Chains A and B, each alone.
Chain A
């Protein structure tokens, strides 16, 4: 664990391409250890999905990374600069945060966005255009002059995201950004966020339970359990560590158990380097060291007169990683 306040710490991190670098961060509230020895690195333009069950410490982590909470130990670097009370306010001007906190209900949608734009120092000559642009993107133009207190949950959510991005932040924290949105609005929001990454190289940290939909956005994942980072890293690394090789699902025309077991024996005999199992859905799940083996595997089964109905490559998702990590942490209980 690294301690804070080391006078020999350099003013600028040597790995300044990292937007976020946290080392051994811990935080305790009274008799509750909220965060324990959490470390993570996030590079520019990456989208980090911060996952975890309720109470795992996601919100506390976001608060620590914004220095609205001070870590008991460990150190945090943002944009290559050590995060301290002296640097936090300046660093925050480069960050946008959308949390589940409320918007100002007695202000209109436009006033809410102007308020945020002014706080973040968006120049006056660009402010109106930016606010109008975001109202248009979030489909709130018609309600721009309505008090936010009259908005539906979905509209509040869109306004919350809009205010977080009004100053085009380099780093964006999002907390369940699609909650309350209908499927169409969710897709539009994800497209908008994807556009921010493509055009502005925005780095994002996304706290979510919404494991479907947002996974296409996440390049990196961290899973917090009881305040500890149980797993973190790029999605492809996390997947390849857990499910090495190439995975396919084979569906046979004859899906009887006897036929599946027969095919399983053929594969075990002919491809000892591959692993096959029969799934609950009456199919064969096969893992192999290289994707190139697939053709030979199919040819062998056909040669043994098995009629193949479908061959589907298995795409491991953020959901699979999440449940695998949770399951491992709880001794396979999930």
Chain B
């Protein structure tokens, strides 16, 4: 595989995304909503005195947590805020890369087809694997960048709201760091690969987005649910899960590159 050609395609697509305001808008709005607006509203609520019902639900969750997951020296109020910040928001974060990727990835191939640029690309010496990987990277990189940016914003938010209550700087925890640095890119890669596969077979951008949602959502829910649960375990478990995800990603990528069909793109996608 020629890394230069992979990066050339990814770089070209990234430039196109950055110059497209319609594509940029959801890339900013989705993380802002999931990582800032929703957590800020909830934290404001949970740190206020009148939170009995919500706090009750959180306490019920905390009683189910395995021993040793949360610090033992915190009092119940502090533990409530800690648990909310550390355990409850992870699923939202794991949704960000997948949702951001859908915005860009669903038009990766079908968008080129609609703009009548794909044929020129198919005449070049780029291999199917290089082309598919370039398209995946073009969606993956912005997804990871916005997720990490949102994570930094969330960390600041947590420390603003939660530190005064907990009385110490506790976020990000080691599990969160591993989740962000390892699991987020892996989940994003899986999602993007599936979306790019859909884009290579869809007949229009709208159809690609609709089909992507149907194909990707079960994968998102499954991986996000499982990954969020990793916060309840030791980081070693997260590393093992990451290894499994790497294996799955390689298989999915090879399958997507294998089903990529130049002839179909030229003759079937009108």
B124, A68: Cβ atoms closer than 8 Å: no
- The answer to whether B266 has its CB under 8 Å from any CB of chain A is yes
- The residue from A63, A90, A103, A105 contacting B125, defined by CB atoms under 8 A apart: A90
Q: How far is the CA of A95 from the CA of B125 in the complex (A)?
A: 9
A115, B12: Cβ atoms closer than 8 Å: yes
B263, A69: Cβ atoms closer than 8 Å: yes
Q: Which 5 A-B pairs have the closest CB atoms?
A: A93-B125, A97-B123, A118-B8, A101-B119, A92-B125
Query: A102-B117, A107-B12 in contact; A119/B266 too (CB < 8 A)?
Result: no
B15, A92: Cβ atoms closer than 8 Å: no
Q: How far is the CA of A102 from the CA of B263 in the complex (A)?
A: 18
Q: Which of A75-110 contact B (CB under 8 A)?
A: 89-90, 92-93, 95, 97, 99, 101-107
Total residues of chain A contacting the partner, CB 8 A: 28
Q: Which of B115, B123, B127, B263 has its CB near the most chain A CB atoms (within 10 A)?
A: B123
Q: How far is the CA of A63 from the CA of B16 in the complex (A)?
A: 27
* B contact residues around A101 at 8 Å (CB): 116-120
A120, B124: Cβ atoms closer than 8 Å: yes
Total residues of chain B contacting the partner, CB 8 A: 26
Q: Is the interface of B mostly helix, strand, loop or mixed?
A: helix
21 pairs across A/B with beta carbons < 8 Å? Answer: A63-B266, A68-B119, A68-B122, A69-B267, A89-B126, A92-B123, A99-B120, A101-B117, A101-B120, A102-B120, A104-B12, A104-B16, A104-B117, A106-B15, A106-B16, A118-B8, A119-B8, A120-B124, A120-B125, A121-B4, A163-B120
Smallest CB separation, A94 vs chain B (Å): 9
Q: Which of B1-26 contact A (CB under 8 A)?
A: 2, 4-5, 8-9, 12, 15-16, 19-20
- The answer to whether A176 has its CB under 8 Å from any CB of chain B is no
Q: How far is the CA of A101 from the CA of B125 in the complex (A)?
A: 17
Residue of B nearest to A147 (CB): B19
Smallest CB separation, A18 vs chain B (Å): 21
B120, A97: Cβ atoms closer than 8 Å: yes
